[in-house]
Chains A and B, each alone.
Chain A
Amino acid sequence: MRYLPKSPAEREEMLASLGLQSSEDLFSSIPGNIPRCGHLAIPSGLSEFEIRAYFERRARDAAQGYACFLGAGAYSHFRPVVVDSIATRGEFLTAYTPYQAEISQGVLTGIFEFQTMVAQLTGMEVANASMYDGSTAVPEAGMMAARITRRTRLLVASSVHPEYRQVLDTYFRHQGLQAETVPFQGDTGQVDMEALDSRLSGDVAAVLVQSPNFFGVVEQVKDLADLAHGSGALLVVIFSEAASLGLLKPPACADIVAGELQSFAHPPSFGGPYVGVLATKKRNIRQMPGRLVGQTVDSNGRRAYCLTLATREQHIRRARATSNICTNQALVALMATVYMALLGKSGLRELAEQNLAKAHFLSAKIRESGAEPVFTGPFFNEFAVRPMARSADEVNRAALGNGIIGGLDLGRFYPDLAGALLVCATETATRDQMERYAACFGGDHSE
């Protein structure tokens, strides 16, 4: 086996030095009444060539070469090659969690930069070293809010990503926390402020909203913060499309920001691995879940970094930890850090402007072709439309025939919105692709 670095003679020599006759003797501490597995029903080992061919075949049996107008929590963005050339360096790829600070300054410095850029993007004061993804960052933010306020009710906008809300339900079920949904306004697609107001009371720990929300609509975060804070609740702002933060005002009035940074350098990869973020105000730092890198000095007084505030974490506090998270998404966070560094201040702005322009172009073209917008609220790179000339299903089937994967039928998560499509255009969408997809909304289009 090419990954095992011992010759048969070396194996014999090592066994002999242990006074053992055969490799079976190594397992003598497993009692005899425990069955041994014999041959596993797994085919014999394959060569590199064969394994590559295996996966290439599987990839051909998937959507290779399609243009894609799906967003909904997973976004296709341009990826500079530098990201992978850094992320595949063995010194990053094959390092462990940086518990030994003296030989992990590279990872630690990178995470410190990640935390800083997440704070800058979100308008928060501190950020952690990452969560699994957006969907798990959300319940962690909710539990954190409950710890801070010592309250147990959470109001969650129904326009938060439906799968994030499902994960939240799973986490909350046994925490003694109650999550209630708050509807959106049928016309704007934004949180229904009156409904929110009527549900707020002194036992609400936090209001959780997403902006841009699942429909791509940007929320009036400041108004939501005022309302939440008015009854002593925290505001948790969620985002799934990080590119929007290049243009949108940061949710600095929020108490906790939880989101997904997949847009920054990681491909959609059929849903993972992504990278969740959690950011907050300084005063809440000891209630944060997850790892944190802090600045310090070495014994020679030189600046250095190390993991810090570990007393919040499971390996120290065990059953009383702020979270059970251990392994996070460090390498994906590094990729996002490299990406943010490459784009920089002006690149991120331009990226966001291009997304805005492409999505508005596509929205206009689709309307011309035969569809109505579902919501009037402002949108960034994603929007909901209802086809008029033909059904959503027909639109997307026509698109597939043209090598295009169309938008998501919202009926999957919102029965009332069945037949409306959630469509996303990032900077990777070309004018030609967008015109071809828009044409599929026309009644006269032939398949």
Chain B
Amino acid sequence: MSRVRRHVTLDEPLLFERSSPGKSGCQLPPLDVPEVDAEQALGSNLVRREVRGFPEVSEVEVVRHFTRLSSWNYAIDLGLYPLGSCTMKYNPRLNEAVARIDGIASAHPYQPESLSQGLLEIQRTLEAFLGEICGMDAVTLQPAAGAHGELTGLLLIRAYHEANGDPRRVVLIPDSAHGTNPATASIAGYDVLEIASNASGMIDVARLKAAVDDSVAALMVTNPNTVGIFERDIQEVARILHAGGAQLYMDGANMNALAGIARPGDFGVDVMHLNLHKTFSTPHGGGGPGAGPVAVREHLEPFLPLPRIFDDPHGLRFDWDRPKSIGRVRAFYGNFGVLVRALSYILAHGGDGLRNATVDAVLNANYVRKGLEGHYDLPYNAASMHECVFSDSRQSRRGVKTGDIAKRLIDYGFHPYTVSFPLIVRGALMIEPTETESKRELDAFISAMQAIAEEVERDADLVRKAPFNTRTSRVDETRAARKPVVVWEPRSRK
């Protein structure tokens, strides 16, 4: 295990436990206007005495507190983060810098359009680039994340069918889909009908055909699918849907396999979302913010959320007069700061660079797959795109599950792969290295995974009790859920 060595990390209490009265980490300038008596201005019944329990700590304590906390995290900046379907690639620091430029970060969403031309141009340019990458006709940048984009996409489909006087009630979803797909369909008011995958892990065209009738509004498909396989029959799937009057929605979580290679608009997709925090490198930040732009074919364009941007003789302007629009899915214009970062990423690559990145992403996934075949069971044999999925079937014979292997991987200095997903693979290990990993890093990962496979044979218990090298040993998740403690109280100290 030459990759890791123990080092000291510091314990740190919660802010509330560090607190003592009278301290603060911030000083405001003196007030340059007369003070106002709050009770007089607002009424004594509306004024609080204090924020009970709020911490009182100094600046240096705040800095040390969060720096110590940060040392307890794994991150892309430390090494490979092979979470399948999450596309954890390097987050260029330049993108952070440009999002913080004065005039961009400081811009108010209601400032006059005449003073927002550069910002509208950023949005327009990004819309055009994303449309080009997807082969689609129009893009909205408003959705705040992938699942939010899915909701937007389904509402567009709904509005389209309703405008045709043909409201439909069912959305078809393959059993390999992300959990957000069925959850989103429910929020959009649809019944979900799950379609079982075929023996190759792909959409079962015969089953699909049988399921498509005039109640079906759409199929939500991920392509490449969650097993990392390109849906070979996607054009036939599109034909079946369109013949039945239904729409084809694509979950773009796996666009890192396609950008610059093939375009969903060219294989029959009507509407799709992108995850800018996956394919376009905006930082995941421990769980967000993301952005989930939605790209559509022409026939869905009239339904896009308000507002749209258009050219007028005086410059770029917002268009609010769109009677067929589904309305708003979020206040203002989306996660603008995330959009800026994604545009910076696209500008850095250029069109050909995006293709090269995709090539390396697929190369890396196949390289890892090759290195692990023979050590782990590969349930589906079809060629992999940007990720590969193994199962724990060999290891589980020794009582070791995918979750155990994942925890042991931590001891070797790697973040685990995606555990137990997709659901169509029992005990799945879903691995997506992305293009921003060197051969050296991949070789180290492959060696670690091979070593764990050997450990399972030799000493299964070692793997079951991992991790050992972390400051926190295996965490009791059952206990957390049994009697949830989600806010600090003085007595919850341990």
Contacts and interface: CB of A to CB of B under 8 A. Distances in A.
Contacts of B484: 126, 285, 292, 294, 308-309
A10 B439 contact: yes
B317 interface: no
Contact of A354 (B28, B188, B410, B492): B28
Given A247-B38, A343-B25, A11 B360 contact: yes
A341 interface: yes
Interface string A67-98: 01010111010101010111011111111111
A-B CB proximity, top 8 nearest: A271-B332, A331-B285, A174-B189, A90-B77, A59-B103, A40-B351, A330-B287, A61-B118
Contacts of B185: 319
Interface in B33-51: 33-36, 38, 41-43, 45-48, 50-51
Q: Which of B36, B135, B190 has the most CB of A within 10 A?
A: B36
How many A residues are at the interface, by size bracket? 35 or more
Contact of A106 (B71, B111, B327): B71
Contacts of B399: none
Nearest to B151: A324
16 contacts: A3-B348, A10-B438, A28-B383, A31-B235, A44-B350, A44-B352, A55-B104, A57-B118, A76-B106, A80-B59, A96-B284, A104-B72, A109-B69, A130-B287, A175-B187, A361-B33
A193 interface: no
B119 A112 contact: no
Q: In the complex, which range does the number of interface residues on chain B fall in?
A: 35 or more
A344 B56 contact: yes
B245 interface: no
B445 interface: no
Contacts of A328: 145, 287-289
A237 to B, nearest CB: 13
Contacts of A41: 132, 351
B196 interface: no
Given A93-B285, A271-B333, A353-B38, A100 B406 contact: yes
Nearest to A170: B327
Given A62-B116, A324-B147, A341-B62, A46 B73 contact: no
Interface stretch (A144-152, A161-169, A179-187, A366-374): A161-169
Given A1-B349, A57-B118, A324-B147, A319 B232 contact: no
Contacts of A202: none
B117 interface: yes
Given A56-B101, A344-B26, A29 B230 contact: yes
A42 to B, nearest CB: 4
Given A82-B25, A345-B55, A23 B359 contact: yes
A5 B22 CA distance: 50
Given A51-B344, A82-B59, A302-B472, 9 more contacts: A51-B348, A59-B103, A59-B104, A68-B108, A104-B74, A105-B72, A127-B486, A132-B148, A342-B26
A164 B352 CA distance: 41
Interface stretch (B175-183, B208-216, B389-397, B447-455): B175-183
Contacts of B189: 173-176
Interface stretch (A226-234, A262-270, A439-447): A262-270
A56 B103 CA distance: 8
A172 to B, nearest CB: 10
A101 B475 contact: yes
